[in-house]
Amino acid sequence: MSVTLSFGAVRAIPDEVDTAWGARWIYPNDMVHDRQDIAGPAKDRLIAWLNGGAVRAALAEAAALAKSWRMFPQQNYEHVLYEDETGRIVGNAQGSHGYLYVAGWLK
């Protein structure tokens, strides 16, 4: 992986991605402001996409997956929380029993 982040589902980020965002949410969708990181040359473009509705949609999908019993905090399974023609956000509880590790990047 070419991007180094302090938080998030960093193993899910494809090797060819040079700009990414990562976060550790309280399971399933409580975003903590100081548990996020972003790195790479296209940070401004990624931030605009994230703040333009991608994160809001990912939060809603994480809640829906948990409520419908399709995502569990003890699992180690990657879920696509949001994707469009611009980027992708994924989440994985990584068996943590309390966190959801999230990563997003531009396509």
* Model pLDDT, residue 105: 98
What's the CATH fold of domain 10-51+69-106? Beta-Lactamase (3.30.450)
* Model pLDDT, residue 25: 98
User: Is the distance from CB of 7 to CB of 22 less than 8 angstroms?
Assistant: yes
Q: Phi and psi at residue 18, in whole multiples of 5°?
A: -110, -5
Mention every residue, 6+ apart, whose C-beta is less than 8 A from residue 5. Answer: 13, 20, 21, 22, 37, 38, 39, 103
Q: Where are the domains of the chain?
A: 10-51+69-106
Distance CA 99, CA 103 (A): 13
Mean pLDDT for the chain?
A: 96
* Model pLDDT, residue 2: 74
